[in-house]
Amino acid sequence: MSALDDVLARTRAEGRAALVAYWPAGFPTKSQSIAAIETMVAAGADIVEVGLPYSDPVMDGATIQAAAGQALEAGTRISDVFDVVQASVAAGAATVVMTYWNPVERFGVDKFAQALAAAGGAGLITPDMIPDEADEWTEASDAHGLNRIYLVAPSSTDARLAMTASEASGFVYATAVMGVTGGRTSTSSLAPTLVARLREVTDKPIGVGLGVSNGDQAHEVAAYADGVIIGSALINCVLHADSEAEGLAQLTRLTKELRTGVERD
């Protein structure tokens, strides 16, 4: 079992959803991204998704695009992502990388898997890689003991849900809305139905992402999901702050609110 499997087993035994926090490596700088992740873990994040900044983030909304742009302007490279993963693991979080597939392929699939495992990473979320085309990744992830986290959407057929869940490990990532990422004023009405459909074909943990921005929404999603995934709302704490200290203070407050949300009955 990976560190991710261990955390999800523990939170399930505690009768609550895991709090999953997304942060782009190198935003606003490498050192500041590490400080942000350490802040979120200290405030209650169970799992961290380290984003690999990409120049063409077609599935990401304005907030993550802006953060990724700053990270790229700061000179963030793939080697920096592994350093951030290592720091996240040292802070006490099960840590995975979320990335589009092109950077992995260009870096070298097995080389990437080896470096991620060496940094203590538990697995990889691949939003634009489907199991049907993942033979090389399946081989590399098996060789290095990494989880394969695939996405499903409300538009996925029952057959696609079953196939994707069978190939996934760690958790299945259920995208709660159709569209790009970003905080929303309400959670998707499609999410509970999608999770219920997944429960019919797998007993693996299910993480729900896209749109959660406050403790009440986290509580709502935690009622039916094994993991509540938040990205844009957390990034906004720093993206719009007047100073690093203010950003980290806001990040602490929001993470604690979200943790309270996933814990309360």
Give the amino acid at 143.
A
Q: Is the pLDDT of residue 60 over 80?
A: no
Label residue 238 by pLDDT band (50, 70, 90): very high
Instruction: State yes or no: pLDDT of 186 exceeds 80.
Output: no
pLDDT at res. 57: 64
Domain hosting residue 134, numbered range? 3-260
**pLDDT category, 177, cuts 50, 70, 90?**
low
DSSP code, position 145 = T
Strand-pairing partners, residue 94, are 47
Q: Is residue 131 part of a domain?
A: yes
Lowest-confidence pick of 20-29, 182-191, 227-236:
182-191
What is the rounded CA–CA span in Å between residue 66 and residue 77?
Answer: 17
- Three-state secondary structure call for residue 172: strand
Mean pLDDT computed over every residue of the chain:
93
Rounded percentage of the chain residues whose pLDDT exceeds 70: 94
> Domain containing 241 — which CATH number?
3.20.20.70
Is there a domain that residue 210 lies in? Answer: yes
Q: How many domains does the chain have?
A: 1
Q: Catalytic residue numbers?
A: 49, 60
Q: What is the pLDDT of residues 114-172, one digit of tens each?
A: 999 999 999 999 999 999 999 999 999 999 999 999 999 999 999 999 999 999 999 99
pLDDT confidence of 41, banded at 50, 70, 90?
A: very high
The reply to whether 265 falls in a domain is no
Does residue 51 have a pLDDT over 60? Answer: yes
Q: Are 78 and 99 spatial neighbours (Cβ–Cβ below 8 Å)? A: no
Mean pLDDT in residue range 206-222 = 93
Q: In the predicted model, what is the mean pLDDT of residues 217-243?
A: 96
**Is the per-residue pLDDT at 9 higher than 50?**
yes
Residue 154 lies in a domain: yes
pTM of the full predicted structure?
0.94
* pLDDT value of residue 6: 98
Residue 185's pLDDT is what? 46
Q: Do strands 123-125 and 94-98 pair parallel, antiparallel, or not at all (unpaired)?
A: parallel
- Rounded to the nearest 5°, which phi and psi values hold at 123? 175, -170
- pLDDT digit string (tens) for 70-109? 999 999 999 999 999 999 999 999 999 999 999 999 999 9
- Strands (E) located in 75-233: 94-98, 123-125, 147-149, 151-152, 172-175, 206-209, 227-230
pLDDT of residue 55: 81
pLDDT at 233 over 90: yes
For strands 151-152 and 172-175, give the pairing.
Answer: parallel
Cβ proximity of 150 and 167 under 8 Å: yes
> Which long-range contacts (C-beta less than 8 Å, at least 24 apart) are formed by 153-157?
153/178, 153/194, 154/178, 154/188, 154/190, 154/191, 154/193, 154/194, 156/194
